[in-house]
A and B are shown apart, each in its own frame.
Chain A
């Protein structure tokens, strides 16, 4: 019983410290600046990925705000058309890109993720 009470107090102390860190980080944590756009043409898969996808999926596709693409995207979507549908229509918290990317651009960025990241 005494041990349990001590554990409770220790966890409450950790919670108090975590709450302080929570508040401090809310006001001090500066977002990272987005990666620079490469010199390749704007319609290349790499350029589209860097400007439209990397902020969530990570510059190397390693994940971040969105899920990891590198190493898993091909196995998750064996058919590229399924992956293109996700980019076009959105899924879960991922927005739809059908209104901001042409079908050719969606095909290009999907191909980039599959050949360079997947």
Chain B
């Protein structure tokens, strides 16, 4: 410990360094996905459609499933943080929050795969919907990386998880609005 530095200040600085390292890791993931999507020649094909009539239909429905799971996860998080009433959350809420979040991530993988492999990264801002969707998608997995690291680490500021979780939820809503909602609007609902 440096002379004149309190233990609290040292811990605070350590927590911020850990957060910075996690943010750098998240940024690396987001940039790596963007670079892959930009450099990869879009296949324009489907690896699988899981019984849906087309890849876009599958992506729209899986993205909707991810959004539904994440809404459940947000509610469970609010319960964990004591925002849903006076009583403390039951013991099972924590594991259930992790389970729902992991399932949401799992369901998102086929969507992300077909975005990256089949369609690529839209770098022209003229195609606003695709451009923002591409940015949101890369940022989503970057922020997801930060959240996973924050959950695993006990050396981050206390506000990290709620802030990163809120950002993750916002990005997912942006992703859904620029893809699934657009698809259902253009192609009709339910368009399986």
Contact = CB atoms under 8 A, between A and B. Distances in A.
A22 B116 CA distance: 11
Contacts of B92: 1, 4
Contacts of B56: 65-67, 92-93
A7 B92 CA distance: 12
Contacts of B45: 31-32, 55, 64-65
Q: Chain B interface residue count: which class?
A: 20 to 34
Given A5-B95, A8-B95, A26-B117, A64 B102 contact: no
Interface string A71-105: 01000000000000000000111000000000000
A15 interface: yes
A14 interface: yes
A93 B114 CA distance: 14
Contacts of B57: 67
B32 to A, nearest CB: 10
A1 B118 CA distance: 41
A11 B186 contact: no
B131 interface: no
B3 to A, nearest CB: 44
Interface in A51-71: 55-57, 63-68
A19 B108 CA distance: 10
26 contacts: A4-B96, A5-B95, A8-B102, A18-B109, A22-B109, A26-B36, A26-B113, A29-B43, A29-B47, A31-B43, A32-B45, A63-B54, A64-B46, A64-B54, A65-B44, A65-B46, A65-B56, A66-B54, A66-B56, A67-B191, A68-B53, A68-B54, A72-B53, A92-B183, A92-B186, A92-B191
B112 interface: yes
Return the 9 tightest CB-CB contacts between A and B, nearest first.
Answer: A31-B43, A67-B54, A67-B53, A92-B187, A92-B186, A68-B53, A65-B55, A4-B95, A64-B46
B131 to A, nearest CB: 15
B126 interface: no
